[in-house]
Amino acid sequence: MKDRERIPFPNDREMKNQVSGIIEGGLEQQEGFLMSIHTLLKKVGFQHIFRDATEILFTLLISGLTLIGFVILTSTWVSWNDVNLYAAIFTTSPLLYGVFVYFFFIQKQTNPAFDVEMVCKYNVHVLAAVRMLAFSLLTIVLNGIALIALSVQTDIHLLFALLLSFISLFICSSMFLYIQHAPIRKLSPISVMVGWVVLNLALYSIAGAGYEAVILSIPIYVYLIIAVLTGYVYIKQVMKFLQKPKGVPLC
Amino acid sequence: MLEVHHVTKNYQSFTALKEVDLQFDHGIYGLLAPNGAGKTTLMKMLVTLTFPSDGEITYNHENIVDLGEEYRDILGYLPQDFGYYKSYTAEKYLMYIAALKGLDKTKAKLRIKELLELVGLQDVGRKKLKKFSGGMIQRVGVCQALLNDPKVLILDEPTAGLDPKERARFKRLLSTLARDRIILLSTHIVSDIESIAKEIIMIKDKRVLYKKNQEELRSLLEGKLFEAIIPFEDVEAYHSKFSVLSEKQEKNGIKVRFVSEQKGAWNEVEPSLEDVFLYVYEEETDLSEDRKHD
């Protein structure tokens, strides 16, 4: 009894530290974003993540066609200055990503081995995280090339145009990913892309030049902050695929 | 332990399964029901391909959806329509699935060799899957399900397309595997699970009707199953009075096997699992209905 009395009662801070220690020790540590991607590439292998040669060829073909399209469009016979360029950049930047990703999901869900792949440790959802990341990087690069090409022909502010492009891409891709792992999917993923274009066209047709004026009136540092924030949201959405991903609600 | 707690599955206004409660420990469990009874729905929920509308499924007291990759790591699944890539060889396909299961490349190669031997496909591992017969494809399916040495093995109609020799081999394989894992096998063919299943689950009217061992199931018809050779013209009368489970043409009439609550001047026979199945799903397997349609 005397021995027990000698044990000092922990204070609030000690108790808090102990509780935190127990929780930290007991809970499974989630890997960071880059570490998760690295582990996945190491465990599954690049050749299995991008297994389908047809898919890769399709991606390359789309990329090539997009580039050629932009080269043609930015050639001297197009008077780019007459087009509402910033509104067009903001509207169309996510489209290429939409094509890549939608093709991937359509291909996967009609794939005969989908059920088997979906119940593996690294299932279609986990692989999708890496693929989508690769698709967004590819889209960023291609959009960047297109905008650089455009800046040669027109007097657009390149950094501003790039920021607009990143923001719209991140907003759309985050929404796309959010829909993908919603337990009950009420919206088709493609509706995000279609909705984005329709919304922007509607705003443009209602507000006309005022729409671009609003886009132009916001200072560049605000766009920079928005780009970082939307980029962060996008990474968080990709992480949801990597950490404790849930199965695709097929029905 | 894998447990299904009060699970209901709705597809919009259609209810596929209602308030299902099940527990699985080690051993083989046979899910026996006619086509369309909800077997595949239950299996798909057990492998997280679809989710319960109500209730939950747990493995060692944790929700399998929350366990995510941890659960899939101990899971093996053979779907009813086993999909594969035709242009792949058996070895290449299994290497691909092994990678998705997170198996080390060297270990995967050894495991694939071992599994192909186990199912008798060691000589055709480098052949393209498009050249395989239905039975051979099904055996590749079994191999992919076993790659990660799963603690929970879910097999949806695994014997479809297998010839009798392959079926016998498959049953032997399952008996060996069942020692330290849960095997749930769905089928509408009684002989697939007869003699190997620890317990048999029967689903009827969207609910679990029975989860019993074979002896208990057979006892449901104990003292109620009879055989008699009757003239052909009496067959209709027997159908209206009793549950006729089978008919067989004999020299001097028709041999009918039927269930009767009262004893008569008939031969009492030992019920088999097939008899119980036919009796339980009488409406779905009604012989008189078949005859009408013929």
CB environment A138-155: b (16+ within 10 A), e (fewer): bbbebbeebbebbbeebe
CB contact under 8 A, A247 and B85: no
Q: Which two tokens stand for residue B187?
A: 């089928």
The better pLDDT of the pair A36, B27 is held by: B27
d(CA B8, CA A36): 35
Domain extents for chain A? Answer: 31-242
d(CA A119, CA A114): 9
Q: Which residues of B touch A54 (CB under 8 A)?
A: none
Query: What are the tens digits of pLDDT across the range A164-175?
Result: 888 988 888 888
> How far does B190 lie from chain A, in Å, by closest CA?
26
Mean pLDDT (10-residue bins), chain B, 294 residues: 93 90 93 86 93 93 89 93 87 94 92 92 92 89 93 90 83 85 89 87 90 90 90 87 88 88 86 89 58 42
Q: Which residues of B touch A114 (CB under 8 A)?
A: 83
d(CA B46, CA B67): 12
Q: Please report the pLDDT score of residue B103 as a whole number.
A: 92
How far CA B81 is from CA of A119, A143, B43, B98, B134, in Å, comes to 14, 41, 13, 20, 11
Predicted confidence band at A29 (pLDDT cuts at 50, 70, 90)?
low
Predicted confidence band at A69 (pLDDT cuts at 50, 70, 90)?
confident
Q: Which residues of A touch B72 (CB under 8 A)?
A: 119-121, 123
Identity of the residue in B48, B75, B84 whose CB atom sits nearest the CB atom of A113: B84
Predicted confidence band at A249 (pLDDT cuts at 50, 70, 90)?
very low
CB contact under 8 A, A251 and B11: yes
For the domain spanning B2-218, the CATH number is 3.40.50.300
Query: What are the tens digits of pLDDT across the range A122-138?
Result: 888 788 778 878 888 88
Q: Please report the pLDDT score of residue B97 as a whole number.
A: 93
CB contact under 8 A, B49 and A115: yes
Which of A180-184, A196-200, B182-186 shows the lowest per-residue confidence on average (mean pLDDT)? A180-184
Interface test with chain A among B81, B82, B100, by most A beta carbons within 10 Å? B100
Q: Which residues of B touch A249 (CB under 8 A)?
A: 50-51
CB B78 within 8 A of CB B142: yes
d(CA A137, CA A143): 10
> How far does A36 lie from chain B, in Å, by closest CA?
13
The percent of residues above 90 in pLDDT, for chain A, comes to 2
Residue A77 clears pLDDT 60, i.e. is over it: no
Domain extents for chain B? Answer: 2-218, 219-293
Q: Which residues of A touch B75 (CB under 8 A)?
A: 119
Sequence letter at residue B14: F
Q: Which residues of B touch A122 (CB under 8 A)?
A: 69, 99-102
Asked if the C-beta of A151 comes within 8 angstroms of chain B's C-beta atoms, the answer is no
Q: Please report the pLDDT score of residue A186 as a whole number.
A: 60
Residue A79 clears pLDDT 70, i.e. is over it: no
CB contact under 8 A, A247 and B100: no
Asked if the C-beta of A126 comes within 8 angstroms of chain B's C-beta atoms, the answer is yes
- Other CB atoms within a 10 A radius of the CB of residue B178 amount to 19
**Phi, psi angles (nearest 5°) of residue B254:** -115, 130
CB environment B253-285: b (16+ within 10 A), e (fewer): ebebbbbbeeeeebeeeebbbebbbbbbbeebb
Q: Please report the pLDDT score of residue A64 as a whole number.
A: 74
Predicted confidence band at A30 (pLDDT cuts at 50, 70, 90)?
low
Average pLDDT over residues A94-113: 72
Asked if the C-beta of A117 comes within 8 angstroms of chain B's C-beta atoms, the answer is yes
Q: Please report the pLDDT score of residue A21 as a whole number.
A: 82
> How far does A29 lie from chain B, in Å, by closest CA?
13
CB contact under 8 A, A48 and B99: yes
Residue A189 clears pLDDT 80, i.e. is over it: no
Place of tokens 């949201």: A233
Predicted confidence band at A251 (pLDDT cuts at 50, 70, 90)?
very low
ipTM: 0.81
